[in-house]
Amino acid sequence: MSKKRKLKIRRKKSTLIVIFTVTFLVLFASVGYGLYTSGIGAPGSSDETVPFLVENGDTYASLGEKLSEQGFIKNPLVYKIYMRTINPGTLYAGYYPLKTSMGLK
């Protein structure tokens, strides 16, 4: 086999690998973005206000579990990611009026 032919075959393989990798990354990013955006949406449509208790010693991680159990958020993992991105600051204890139609944003 000539050098030109070997080089041509090698380029084809490299091109296919790059195309496959880029396609996989775009697909992976699209699925991740879709899951994230659906996870920050409102889990319900009720406009009823319900008191939510934040206790002393609660962390944002423990709040994610509480919010999920009470139906205020869809996914605690998406909540944790969202909270890391917005860097919310200090957490204060108390009762907060929440609705299931609020979502994370």
Sign of CA dihedral 46, 50, 53, 54: positive
Q: What tens digit of pLDDT does each residue of 45-85 get?
A: 667 788 989 999 998 888 888 988 888 887 888 888 888 88
Contacts of 71 (CB under 8 A, 6+ apart): 43, 44, 100
Domain positions in the chain are 50-98
What single-letter DSSP state applies at residue 54?
A: E
Conformation bin of residue 87: beta by default, left when phi > 0, alpha when psi is -120 to 50 = left
Sign of CA dihedral 24, 81, 72, 102: negative
For the chain, the residue count is 105
Please tell me the predicted confidence (pLDDT) of residue 45: 62
Instruction: List beta partners, residue 53.
Output: 95
Percent of the chain with pLDDT over 90: 16
